[in-house]
Structure formats: structure tokens, C-alpha cells
Chains A and B, each alone.
Chain A
Amino acid sequence: MTATLPFFPPDLFEADRDTLIEIVRDVGTALDQRFILGEHTARFEHALRETVAGADVVACGSGTSALSLVLAALGIGPGDEVVVPAFGCAPIAATVVTAGATPVFADVRPDTMTLDPGLAEAAITSRTKAIVPAHQFSVMADMPAFEDIAARHRLRLVEDSAVAQGATLRGRPAGTWGDAGVFSFVQVKSFGMPGEGGVVVTGNPELAATVRMLRNHGQDGRRRFVHHVVGYNSRFDEVQAAFQLRRLPGLAARLARRADIAAYYTERFTPLADRGITPPPPGRDGRCYYVYCLRAERRDELAAHLAALGIGTHVYYPAPLPAQPAFARYAPPGAAWPNAAAAGETILALPVYPHLSDAQVEHIATAVCSFADRKDPRP
């Protein structure tokens, strides 16, 4: 059945439908006929700078591509190893491989499901060039610890902050830790948009300049068709930039609404721990509710229970990255990632988008609680 409360809502931009259509018409008929990396994109990059403590922002084709551009700009390539979490989205490993380097998987912490600093440090070898911790669902990775490790081992630190736009940790915005961070704007993200796009965030002007060259075929922005480096086509469309500029003023309120929904869920779910349901770790620091993901011992039954009540859910990553065929060759024989495996078996994400009504949020929370209270015999 189709969930009446879908996990991936089709009406994310319904309030701005006319805005989108008007922007497409205006860009399509504008005198300057500039469609890619134009004035709107420049203004969008500039506007975002204010949200990341003045760091430079370079708009590009996607969050995945942003990671690739950062790795390339840092000169990471064949012969280099990069420590990445064993649990998470494919790009965190794939971008390392497509850069020509080798991903070295380290397990995640059992509570936050983010890269475990101790295990990451243990994975460092003489070939290690960088560590790429990723913020996961709603929780930022332990960036102070990774900053320390990177400094001690003289490694590059890349922050996969694709999911964490708007979060701050100890007063410092996500994206501004390490050499560079990234944001993704694919529609479901906290600052999603009606198309594909992302940005690189960096406080290092040289790195920003290199990323700017890499995103547009290695050109320097002054002389066309002179290619200084082997670049990519990873650019930002003017339609999307204009749309994001219109939506930026409302972002803080949407993030606050997500946080409020999450806080309510956590309040309702905290008492369920002894019945096999655990909410994400509490607290507000280093949190950004892109995805509200709880852990459930009887996860598939809970998902079925919610589906029967018309509530959509999603299991983001059923398997650790090194267990997937694409990355199996980077898994040393006998290596195991028990926390990643356990996460894959127990995670369940609930709807947390800002246009959920209070009644819908209560309905979802009550449905989860009613499952926990069920007296079914366990199989």
C-alpha cells in the first residue's frame, strides 16, 4: 500500500512550486542567457558563506562530486590510503576509489554510528593520506578527536558533512572542520532542492581556487578553453541557485522544525529502551535532523507495523560498505565491522520533514510506542 505518510514526501517544494516555474521561465528568457555558474550561483555561494563562518563556498554538481573535487584538490590519488567509516553512504568509499586511492574501512561507534576515532587511528599506515569522517543521520562525527588525530599524524581531514548543513559542534558549523567539508542539496536533504547539486566548504583559499578550476574542466575562470589541470564537469545550474536563494531565508525555521520533531520523538521513545527501541543519542550540540534514525531490535516487524498504519520508513544502509560487492576488494580477509553490521540490522528512519503537522508527528510516535507495548511472543 502507499503510505499516507510517505518517508520520501513528494510535496517537499509544493509551497514553492510557482516560484520554481517562474524561475525556469525567467532564466530561460533572460537577456544574458546564462544557465550555469552565473550570477545566481555566485550570489548563492556568497550567501552560504555567512552560514559557515565566512569559509569559501564552491557550488558544484552534487555532494558526491564535491567529495571527489576535494580529494582531487588535495592531491589524493594512486598509492594513497584514506580512512573512511565502514558504515554509511556509498560515495564515502566510491570517491576514494575513483580518485585512484584505496579506502581503508574502520568501524563506527555503536551509539552514534559515526567513525570511531580510536579505530580510525589504528587504521593509519605509512600510506595514509587522509581521514574522512562522515556525519551520520542526525549526529556529527567527533570532529575534535579527528582534528587531533589528523594533526598528530600530519594527515588531511575531509569532513563528509553532506547530511549536516546547519549543525554546529562546540559552536563551530558543520563543514568548517578539517581541510574542507561538503553539503548536498539532493531534494530530501535538509536544504534540498528540485535537482542535483552540492557545495565544497573550505577556509583554505588555495584549495577553493583549485576546486573552482576542477569543477569546470580545469579552467581558471579568466581564459576559456585553457585547461590547467585534468578537471571535471561538476557545475551548478542557475535555475537551482535562484531557487535556493529564495529558500535560504526559510532554512533556519525548517531546521528548527526538524529539531523540534526529533526532540518530541526522542522524548516519547527514551522510555522504550528496555523494550528494544533506542532513539538517537540525546543532546542538541552537533545535531542536525536530516534523518531521524532509531534502532530497533525487531526492526523489520516495526517497519511492517508502521507500514500497516500508513507510515513510511526507510532502512538507509542494510549492509556495511565493505560488505557491498563494489568495495569487497578493499576488505582485508577476516576483517569485521561488527558495529556497522549491527547498525545495518537495527536502523529504521522515521519521517522528520518540516511540513509534518503536529498531529502527524504524534501519530507516528504513538504508532512506534504501540509496537513497543505489543505483547507478541518473539519468534
Chain B
Amino acid sequence: MSVTSLPHKGNEPIVEPAPIPFFTQAAGFRRLWPEIEARLHEVADSGKFSHGPQVARLEHRLAEYTGAAHVVGVNSGTDALILLLRACGLGDGAGVLVPAFTFVATATSVVHAGGRPQFTDIDPATCQMCPESAAQAITPRTRAVMPVHLFDRMADVAAFSTLASRHGLTLLEDSAEAIGMRRHGKHAGLHGVGGVLSFFPSKTLGALGDAGAVLTDDAGIAASVAALRHHGRPGATIGDFPAIKTGSELVGVNSKMDDVQAAVLLAKLSTLDRDIARRAKLAAAYTERLAGVPGVRRVPGPLTDGGDDRDVCYVYVIEAEDRDRLATALTAAGIGTEVYYPVPLHLQPCFADLGHRPGDFPHAEEACRHTIALPLHPDLTIAEVDRVCAEIRRHYTGSTS
């Protein structure tokens, strides 16, 4: 190996600061590797590489963690939503109230289940679906309401529960981002007929690929989802290859989870609560440094964390002036960001046929103009938070302090 001395001015070596990726789980993965490796050997020993024993164990452990009576492992959070909605049997053309500011799967899953999304605005202070806006959107066709627990906290499930019972609607939760979140001791996803989890890699509990699950206390819904994920085959099919000869009772799909992913998730589940606590600490550090910085329009409000109620910071989202220029500046400084979400669902090309126009949901539209998510994962250091915040301050004020 040859070493070349680069000439540089003065005596100070020029040190390029290491990039700060928006997300990485590499260090945590390395720490957990002995357990992951042992589980991968178990997968290979079992010889069942999807819908196998590790998936069964993950379902069991998630049931313990969330308190759900039933957990059904599937191929993604999106599939979990589709199958949960189908299992609820809302019927063709059923209206389902969803927020206009969320990931697209909240609404496309309704379409795939034969329903029609009915968009509602958000509470500008929290970015969560607004119960009053939802109440106004109810029509005779409305059958269900599906709030999303977005980014870092739960939607007002008590208000949605009241709304649902007052109007005779089914309450479901898009709790894809909400592992670890609780209200009144009850985990997200269990306040209505059911909810979902996504294990997309950057999630609070993330796999190394796509995976998801349905959570429910309803045995009938669980049985339907379990059949739908495996070509409509009834009964206990996990770990049972010859079950593929069983005829289809329901018109199903293939949404089986990979055991390699379940193995990784089982290992990561063992550190989940520590990771959640670390996320809270990092979020508080961001808020402390960014509150009052010119150009930063909004930092997240305090997270509920005590007794039976807990929010979890899955992503740390601020609202910023001239957001796209801030993102460009941070990228130039080696700092990764994401824009969740640049276009509200009612203005997405795929929902053009619903006939919405700009201005229909002003808070959702405003959020899309200003939100930006900053790096947040359990291995992020406070020094890195300092650097991100200093760059934001520099961008808006020309000074890092």
C-alpha cells in the first residue's frame, strides 16, 4: 500500500467530516450478528425458508410484546393493510376515512380491498389525522375509519373510537409505523378491530427486506388474514409444506414472510425497548437544539411517555422554510434527509379520479410543502445530532451557533 501525502495549506489537516446517513442499522446489526447467525442456522436446519418456524416464533413474540391475541406475519406492511381490510369484509365501494397526509399505502390498500378512500385533513400541530375533519367527511357510503399513527405519535384513538361508535363505523388502525406505541396500556393497532406493523428496514423494528404483520384481538379476522396470505388455505399452514395441496376457501394471495427476515427481526426485537428509549433521547436532543432556530417553523411537540401511554419517535420530522433548499444544503454537507411526503394523497396522480383539488385539505398541503425528516436511528450519536443542527442553523443564519 502506498501512502501519498497530499499538500495542504497551513498546518491543520483538512478532515472531511464523515457523512451522516439518513438511516443505517449497520452497527446494531453487527452487534446482534451472533444471535442472527445462530437463527439463520436454525432456518437452514429447518429447511423451510418462508412461512416457517422463525415466522411462527416471531408471531408469538410479537403477540407477547404487543399484547395482541393474534399476530399474522405477511410479506409487507402494505399487504397487511390490504388483507386486514379484506378480512373486515367492508364490501365493494365501501368508503374508508383516511388522512390526506400519509404514505400512499394507507389509501391504495383500501382500493385493493374493493373500497374507496375518503380523504380527511390533519391536525397541523401534530400532523395526525383530524377527528373533526373525519366527522365532516362521513357520507352514507362510509363504512370505516382508519387513522394513521404517523411519524412519532399516535393519532387521537379515543376520539376516533367515539366517532366510529357514534356513526356505526369499523375502526381500523394503520399502525405500520407504531410499534411500541400505547394508549391506556393498549398497543397501537388494538383499539379497533385490528392494525398492522411494517418491518420495512428503516422502521423502528426493521428487517433486511420487506415484511409486515397484522395485529388483532379478533380470532375470525386473524383466521381470514392467515388464510388470505397463503392462497386462501384455511387452518394452520405455517411450517407445513404439504398444506399446499389444501384447496382454497378464500380468494387469496401469496404474502408469506421470509424466515430470513423473521430471524433478523427476532434478534432485533430483543433490543427494541432500548432502541426506543434511545430514539426518544435523540429526538429530545434535536428538539432542544432546533426550537427557536430561525427558518425552523415547527419542531415536534413533546412525546407522551409515561405509565400506560407511550409514543415512539420512528422519524423525526420538522417543518422548515424553503424546505427543498434546506434539503439540498444538508445533502451538500453530507447529511441525509427524507421528505415525508411531498404530495398529499388527494393530489396524487393515482387518485385523480376522486376529483380533489388543491385547497381541499390545506393542513395536509401545508405539511407537504414544509416537512423534512432528519437522520434518526439508535446508533446516531449526540455529536451527529449537534452537527445536523449546526448545519441547519448555518443554512438559515450563516452561523453555527
Contact = CB atoms under 8 A, between A and B. Distances in A.
B111 interface: yes
A326 B208 contact: no
A368 to B, nearest CB: 20
Interface stretch (B41-49, B144-152, B313-321): B41-49
A217 B105 contact: yes
Contact of B251 (A14, A98, A218, A315): A98
Interface string A71-97: 000000000000000000111011001
Interface in A192-232: 193-196, 217-218, 224-232
Nearest to A61: B75
Contact of A62 (B43, B46, B254): B254
Nearest to B23: A33
A225 B339 contact: yes
Interface in B194-213: 201, 207-210
B247 interface: yes
B72 to A, nearest CB: 16
Interface residues of B, number: 65
A89 B255 CA distance: 15
Given A24-B264, A28-B26, A233-B210, A316 B254 contact: no
A64 B256 CA distance: 11
Interface stretch (A124-132, A236-244, A266-274): A236-244
Interface string A7-38: 11111111001001100110111110101100
A65 B229 CA distance: 12
A325 interface: yes
Contact of A24 (B30, B40, B349): B40
A315 B30 CA distance: 44
A324 B248 contact: yes
Contacts of B241: 8, 188
Nearest to A64: B254
Contact of A238 (B23, B209, B250, B350): B209
Given A187-B49, A195-B49, A237-B258, A314 B245 contact: yes
Contacts of A233: 75-79, 105, 210
A24 B76 contact: no
A239 B253 contact: no
B84 to A, nearest CB: 14
A215 to B, nearest CB: 11
B250 to A, nearest CB: 5
A351 to B, nearest CB: 13
A318 interface: yes
Contacts of B210: 36, 61, 233, 235, 237
A63 interface: yes
Residue among B26, B29, B247, B343 having the largest count of chain A Cβ atoms under 10 Å: B247
A41 B248 CA distance: 32
A356 interface: no
A235 to B, nearest CB: 6
Contacts of B254: 61-65, 91, 196
Given A226-B342, A228-B350, A12 B47 contact: yes
Contacts of A229: 349-350
B232 A94 contact: yes
A196 B50 contact: yes
Nearest to A193: B49
A195 B43 CA distance: 11
Given A65-B254, A326-B250, A25 B33 contact: yes
B97 interface: no
A231 B349 contact: no
Given A35-B209, A194-B49, A318 B247 contact: yes
Contact of A97 (B111, B251, B259): B251
A194 B260 contact: yes
Which of the four size classes fits the interface of chain A?
A: 35 or more
B50 A186 contact: yes
Interface in B338-376: 339-343, 348-351
B191 interface: no
A317 interface: yes
B48 A10 contact: yes
Contacts of A13: 44, 49
Interface string B24-54: 1110011001001100110111111110000
A28 B342 contact: no
A287 to B, nearest CB: 22
A192 B351 CA distance: 37
B232 A326 contact: yes
A33 B250 CA distance: 38
Contacts of B249: 324-326
A8 B47 CA distance: 9
A7 B173 CA distance: 42
Given A28-B25, A326-B251, A227 B350 contact: yes
A90 B105 contact: no
A333 B75 CA distance: 37
Interface of B: 21, 23-26, 29-30, 33, 36-37, 40-41, 43-50, 75-79, 104-105, 108, 111-112, 201, 207-210, 231-232, 241-242, 244-245, 247-256, 258-261, 264, 339-343, 348-351
Q: Give 4 nearest A-B pairs by CB, closest first.
A: A10-B47, A237-B209, A233-B78, A326-B248
29 contacts: A7-B242, A8-B47, A10-B46, A10-B48, A17-B44, A28-B29, A28-B30, A29-B30, A31-B26, A33-B23, A33-B26, A35-B209, A36-B201, A62-B256, A65-B253, A97-B251, A218-B104, A225-B339, A225-B342, A227-B104, A230-B111, A231-B350, A233-B75, A233-B76, A233-B79, A240-B209, A315-B245, A318-B247, A323-B247
Given A7-B242, A226-B342, A325-B248, 10 more contacts: A28-B25, A33-B24, A61-B255, A64-B254, A91-B231, A187-B48, A195-B49, A196-B254, A218-B350, A225-B104
